Amino acid sequence: MKYRSAFDIIGPVMIGPSSSHTAGAAKIGRAARTIFGKKPKRAVISLYGSFAKTYKGHGTDLALIAGLLDFDTFDERIPDAYKWAEDAEMEIQFLVEEAVVDHPNTVRINLFDDGDKRLELVGISIGGGTIEITEINSFKLRLSGGQPAILVIHRDQFGMISFVTSILAKHEINISHMEMSRKERGDIAIMVIEMDQKLDEEVMGELNALPDINHVIRMDN
């Protein structure tokens, strides 16, 4: 079961007609914004399955843009998301894809800034406002977005998991889900850790100071 509580089934507090097509889409967009680390200059958004067929009627496009603008699911600015994106000088392009995907509510988001920075993220909305991020820059993973989490981007070296989890254990941080993703041995890897509580700046500083850590991204629920 993907749902963690009755509130997941009832759905979140939100603006829009659909918890999966609107609230879920907003959460995916906001997750992409958080991982990117700032407002993107340009976003190319590819929609698949049900998202592709009904995105205008269900406000999926508005919700995705709102998420990229860092709006929450209940933000009253969501219906005017195109205007807010224009005011923020954020270029948006939607592509309707016909490819068959594993889940009907699938979106691929590519974000760009003025320089070389680029993020490619795949997310799915699985109902009740619940989402999963399934891919980041071609790394296969699973990030629910339902709990505080961190993405630890690091070099694939012996002992990295122990280094990170030792710091969390020292601060009595309980891990609810954890997984690793890498492309090649010894290259860059991503550690996904979901926890029962948010991390403070002290813990984040200790994690970022570890050897072979490139960056730690905090995904607060």
For the chain, the domains span 6-143, 149-219
Architecture of the domain whose range is 6-143 = 2-Layer Sandwich (3.30)
CA atoms of 133 and 141, how far apart (whole Å): 7
Q: What is the pLDDT along the chain (221 residues), one digit of tens a residue?
A: 444 443 344 345 555 545 556 889 999 999 999 999 999 999 999 999 988 888 888 889 999 999 999 998 888 899 999 999 999 999 999 999 988 788 889 999 999 998 778 999 999 998 777 899 999 999 999 888 778 999 999 999 999 999 999 999 999 999 999 999 998 898 999 999 999 999 999 999 999 999 999 999 998 75
Contacts for 108 with CB less than 8 Å, ≥ 6 apart: 45, 46, 48, 97, 120, 121, 122
Q: Give the per-residue pLDDT at 3.
A: 43
pLDDT of res. 113: 93
Residue matched to tokens 């998420």:
67
- The reply to whether 149-219 shares the fold of 6-143 is no
149-219 fold: Alpha-Beta Plaits (3.30.70)
Give the predicted TM-score (pTM) of the model.
0.83
Nearest alpha-carbon partner for 134 in 14, 31, 3: 31
